[in-house]
Amino acid sequence: MRYLSAALLAFAFGGSLQAAECPELLNHDLRKLASEEEVNLCEAYRGKVLLVVNTASKCGFTDQYEGLEALYADYQSDGLVVLGFPSNDFAGQEPGTEAEIQNFCRSTYSVRFPMFAKTVVRGEATSPFWRDLADASGSPPKWNFNKYLIDRNGHFVAAFGSRTEPDDPELMDRIRDLLADVDKP
């Protein structure tokens, strides 16, 4: 029995080895914005540094899309991925359909970083991913454009509030430190 392959063991126990290795925080399947396509966070982003942001198109912080896209463009090749989650949870500032949100983000801010389905990020109906993120960070988002940093191992590192711009020195230092740590996929 001790010589069974990992694949055979995974099959024998009714699951995949990858599922067992997936960090809990990334163990979610999420739908892409304005699409039926689902993305498994482990499969798509394991080994990447993630900046997770709840977004809104009609917020005083909406212009942060520009900085988030610039950050993504500048550091994507180093392993950074910005993940956007439109949410209407704060003062109804994301009222549009997913197609309208996608069009706004692309045409106004040239957003190319991954965006996911309109999501509930606080309260009783919070999505499981955002519930896990709130548990890991100790706090759900307090407003639009909260930022959560996740390391290459899928562990929560730090949270930054809405007023923290994407080019904030402290945020940038944390991102650069995590990107430099390439030995921990």
Could you list the active site residues?
59
**DSSP per-residue string spanning the chain:** -TT--HHHHHHHTTS-HHHHHS-GGG--EEEBTTSS-EEEHHHHHTTSEEEEEEE-TTSTTTTHHHHHHHHHHHHGGGTEEEEEEE--TTTT---S-HHHHHHHHHHHH---S-BB-----SSTT--HHHHHHHHHHTS--SSTT-EEEE-TTS-EEEEE-TTS-TT-HHHHHHHHHHHH-TT--
